[in-house]
Amino acid sequence: MTISTIFLIALALAVDAFAVALAAGVSLPRTTFRHTFRLAWHFGLFQGGMAVIGWAGGLAFRPLIESFDHWLAFILLFLVGSRMIHEALSADPGEKAAVDPTRGFSLVILSVATSIDALAVGLSFAFLQTEILLPALIIGMVALVLTAAGLHLGKLIRHAGRLGAGAEIGGGLVLIAIGFRILFDHGVF
């Protein structure tokens, strides 16, 4: 898998984190370095970590499913991308940041929720026999940077809901396109 493909996957995965950070930036009365560090660090750490966990789980099952692993990777990417698009079209943008998302239990819940997609992508990497260290680092760093950017952009933009939804739709479409590319690369089309 090429670096550019991994980077596109990382961007698509980080859209949820960006959207949540955008909403948080709009809802927080002020944004400090501490807010930025906590949110960006946790979102980046969880994104990269969940990719590794998914990859490790996929390694255990790879010998059983090698003949159809490309289909599983496609299905996972398609489902994750579709879910991102569905949530973007149906979610209330203000509900993602009802409380301070940079503290306590809210921070942990949001970190897990925004990184579930990375778990599925990590599983896909295992099925495709792709090493995980570099992709996990890229996924984590992109999530960290986009989270920080989203938090500060949200501070500047009061009508962030539509921007966040558009970014989530774009991320979902990128994941679906990558799924189709995997099928194409395996000679399905």
pLDDT at 116 over 50: yes
Q: What percent of the chain has pLDDT over 90?
A: 33
Q: How far apart are CA 20 and CA 134, in angstroms?
A: 25
For residue 185, pLDDT beyond 60: yes
pLDDT tens, residue by residue, 143-161: 999 999 999 988 887 544 5
Contacts of residue 164, defined as CB under 8 A and 6 or more positions apart, other chains included, come to: 18, 19, 22, 23, 88, 93, 150
- 3-state DSSP call for residue 100? coil
CA separation, residue 165 to residues 13, 65, 143, 161, 182 (Å): 14, 35, 17, 6, 26
- Identify the top-confidence range among 68-82, 99-113, 122-136, 147-161: 122-136
Q: What is the pLDDT of residue 163?
A: 59
Question: How do residues 1-47 score in pLDDT, each as one tens digit?
Answer: 899 999 999 999 998 889 888 877 876 778 899 999 999 999 999 99
Q: How confident is the model at residue 181 (pLDDT cuts 50, 70, 90)?
A: confident
pLDDT of residue 97: 43
Report the pLDDT value the prediction gives residue 166, as an integer from 0 to 100: 73
Token pair, residue 155, equals 């501070």
Q: Is the pLDDT of residue 52 over 50?
A: yes
Break the chain into its structural domains and give their ranges: 3-185
Q: What is the pLDDT of residue 100?
A: 73
CA separation for the pair 170, 90 (Å, rounded)? 15
Mean of pLDDT values over 50-59:
93
The pLDDT of residue 96 is: 46
Mean of pLDDT over the chain: 83
